[in-house]
Structure 1
Amino acid sequence: MIPQFKSTQKPSLNKKEFKILDQAVQKPPRQSGIKTGRWSGKSVAAYIKKVFGKTVHPHTARRYLRRLGFVLKRPHKKFTKAKEKDQRAFAMALERLEQSRPTKSVTVWIDEGHIWQDGLLRRMWCPKAKEACVDSLSPGKKKLSFYVAVVRPVGKIITLQVKKFHQQNTARFLKKIRTCLPGYHIDAVWDNAPYHQGSIIKEIQKETNIQVHHLPSYSPNMNAAEQWIRWAKETLSYNICWETLKALIRSFNGFVASMVQRTSEILSRCVSYTFGFNCC
């Protein structure tokens, strides 16, 4: 027999107060007069004390959040300057491009990224009684900078390591893309960075016969190459500090080389996020 225990403790808030709390926690705490950036057990307890005059423990306040259907999630930036009209138009144009794709034609998503020698700290599993620590050699601002191109629907990755991003290096990368894709019609998609514009870039576009499409402003998630950069950081940067920059570069080169055997994974992970727009 398995005993079933039920708590006899009644919640400190009534139904009406729970409804008010539900409405409050769906907005930033500062809009409710709580001077903090996010809701937590402490901030919810402070709100309950301020509005209802009742004292609850932060653990109890967290249970209230779960009871209201809230869970902890890592947020992503929502770029409020982005124009939905422009994003929708781009998504529809992209859909038309993909549907009318001729043979020997590809869409190349281009972006730039950095991977720092020092680690990016992320949540990790560790014994409950131990502190979560990641060793760091304090390498300062040492980093690996690179261009990356995700080639769809081929499932190919092209990279170029550089010290800085500028028009000359962008031109070098476009030449490398053309060399890696001989005989293909290439539609390139990238953002509006200054090193994606200018007379040098226009000349190299004509020379390589690459048709360039610019993403809408403030829409990084619409770039499929952004997903590959996140993948690379997840593999090479999360919770690890490299002994030397050379060691990081060797591992990066190995990661890029492994892409040859991971075509299906590239196509499934490196996808343009079109915000659920109906692009038919």
Structure 2
Amino acid sequence: MFRTYELDLDLLQKLYYTHQQEYLRKRLRAIKAVYEGQSRYQVCRSLGCSYNALTKWIDVVLLHGLAKLVAPIKHPNTPQRLSSEQKKELKRMILEKSPRDYGIVRNLWTADIMIEVIQSRWNISLKSSRIYEILEELGLSYQRAHRDYEPPDKDAQKAFVEQVKKLEHLGPKEIILFFDEFSVSDRPSLFYGWAEVNTRPEVPSNEKRKRNRVNGFLSVDAITGKEYLLLSPHAKTEDVASYLGLLFDDLHSEGYEDITIYLDNNSTHKKKMKSKLARLLPLLGLEGKVNIEFSHIPAYSPDFNLAEYIIHQIRLQILHHMPIDATLDSIEVELETYLDKHQLQTPEQIKNTLEHIFNLTSQS
């Protein structure tokens, strides 16, 4: 059905990032999959949509374009099912409580959980499309919590962007990577959740409470988007050096000789780590075989680290769907299994993410 139709993939991606509602994003993923050659039955099975719904979405795109596909469903002639007081209470519930307060073993609010709680509390049945409309009316959007960082050095950020831009044209044996770490614990720290528009939930940056955790070391190829993940019980200087040594060994086996890696200013990423790594490389048989250049991302600038965006996807697509009683072992298995089968961003998406990073300096 798309043989003579030229789908605007740039517009599709822009609409995907603009619209947070999962039911709208599912439509866009379905259209893209059909356009790329999957059969309707394959798309229905993989996305969990009906054949009739998919056919309707295709017709909308062919007749009216992509923008019409993501136009929110409006119900102008339908009486409001929630009263104004119920909406105010719903907002308080989302901002101040968690699903656990209503007997649901999850940390984060989703449309399905809101539907269930509204049904139980007020005996009102709503569709997910109506839930998203109400959330928009209440001035809520789904956002990432953030640390209370100090102000960054704007000049250092601009210099960093110019440095990265100069490395866009690589030889066949050159590779650029962005590296970062993340941790997963049995008690959430940083999280995503619903908050007032143009605000984000905050957590203290000096939290020291004991929690069980597993640490993830992640590097991302700045051209292809390929991820290199290693999970570790510890994240000390020697653990970082060990991960990087194994990473460089893998990259050498893939044919790379010149490696540039960008990383933040964590204390485990500095002189001591590089010294340990230098002693490790000969043991791996890499001495003189790879040229390694470390470059540090400006301080207090997490948005300039490409790896941060992939970690965002890991949390959004994998970790936020784990049950509240998931063990660390089950989390590790889920992470490794998922990333063995999926790449979180395509090369085109990586390119767009880098373009977003470059544009951050013009917004400041």
What band does the TM-score fall into relative to the shorter chain?
A: 0.5 to 0.7
Whether the 8 Å CA contact 2:240–2:273 is kept in 1: the answer is no
Q: Which amino acid aligns with 2:320?
A: Y
Task: Return the match for 1:165 from 229, 235, 250.
Answer: 235
Q: Distance in 1 between matches of 2:307 and 2:164?
A: 15
- What is the match of residue 215 of structure 1? 297
DSSP-derived class of the 1:149 partner: strand
Q: Distance in 2 between matches of 1:269 and 1:249?
A: 29
Q: Please state which structure has a larger fraction of its residues in helix.
A: 2
DSSP-derived class of the 2:160 partner: helix
- What is the match of residue 189 of structure 1? 262
DSSP-derived class of the 1:147 partner: strand
- What is the match of residue 226 of structure 1? 308
CA, structure 1 residues 163+180, in 2 after alignment: closer, same or farther (shift >3 Å)? Answer: same
| 2:193 matches 1:122 | yes
Q: Which amino acid aligns with 1:255?
A: Y
- What is the match of residue 257 of structure 1? 340
Q: Which amino acid aligns with 1:245?
A: L
How many angstroms does 1:164 deviate by? 1.9
Whether the 8 Å CA contact 1:259–1:266 is kept in 2: the answer is no
Q: Distance in 2 between matches of 1:257 and 1:266?
A: 19
How many angstroms does 1:162 deviate by? 1.3
Matches within 5 A, 1:127-146: 141-146=211-216
CA, structure 1 residues 242+142, in 2 after alignment: closer, same or farther (shift >3 Å)? Answer: same
Q: Distance in 1 between matches of 2:352 and 2:340?
A: 17
- What is the match of residue 274 of structure 1? 358
How many angstroms does 1:167 deviate by? 1.6
Whether the 8 Å CA contact 1:228–1:270 is kept in 2: the answer is no
Q: Which has the higher contact order (CA 8 A, sep 6+)?
A: 1
How many angstroms does 1:118 deviate by? 4.5
CA, structure 1 residues 79+141, in 2 after alignment: closer, same or farther (shift >3 Å)? Answer: closer
How many angstroms does 1:174 deviate by? 1.1
Structure 1: tracts of 5 or more residues without a match: 5-65, 125-139
Q: Distance in 2 between matches of 1:214 and 1:91?
A: 12
- What is the match of residue 156 of structure 2? 86
- What is the match of residue 178 of structure 1? 248
| 2:180 matches 1:111 | yes
How many angstroms does 1:266 deviate by? 6.3
Whether the 8 Å CA contact 1:106–1:154 is kept in 2: the answer is no
Q: Deviations over 1:31-84 (max 9, x none)?
A: xxxxxxxxxxxxxxxxxxxxxxxxxxxxxxxxxxx99xx954447758452010
Matches within 5 A, 1:139-158: 141-158=211-228
Whether the 8 Å CA contact 1:242–1:248 is kept in 2: the answer is no
DSSP-derived class of the 1:241 partner: coil
Q: Distance in 1 between matches of 2:184 and 2:149?
A: 23
Q: Distance in 1 between matches of 2:318 and 2:144?
A: 22
Q: Distance in 2 between matches of 1:265 and 1:95?
A: 16
Whether the 8 Å CA contact 2:223–2:347 is kept in 1: the answer is no
Whether the 8 Å CA contact 1:156–1:259 is kept in 2: the answer is no
Q: Distance in 2 between matches of 1:235 and 1:264?
A: 18
CA, structure 1 residues 256+159, in 2 after alignment: closer, same or farther (shift >3 Å)? Answer: same
Structure 2: tracts of 5 or more residues without a match: 1-75, 78-135, 196-209, 282-286
| 2:305 matches 1:236 | no
Q: Which amino acid aligns with 1:218?
A: Y
How many angstroms does 1:243 deviate by? 3.0
Whether the 8 Å CA contact 1:156–1:266 is kept in 2: the answer is no
Q: Which amino acid aligns with 1:86?
A: A
Larger radius of gyration between Structure 1 and Structure 2: 1
DSSP-derived class of the 2:326 partner: coil
How many angstroms does 1:171 deviate by? 1.1
CA, structure 1 residues 196+117, in 2 after alignment: closer, same or farther (shift >3 Å)? Answer: same
Q: Which amino acid aligns with 1:188?
A: I
How many angstroms does 1:260 deviate by? 5.3
Structure 1 vs Structure 2: percent identity of aligned residues?
A: 20
How many angstroms does 1:275 deviate by? 4.1
Q: Which amino acid aligns with 2:350?
A: L
Q: Which amino acid aligns with 1:246?
A: D
Whether the 8 Å CA contact 1:108–1:151 is kept in 2: the answer is yes
Whether the 8 Å CA contact 1:118–1:237 is kept in 2: the answer is no
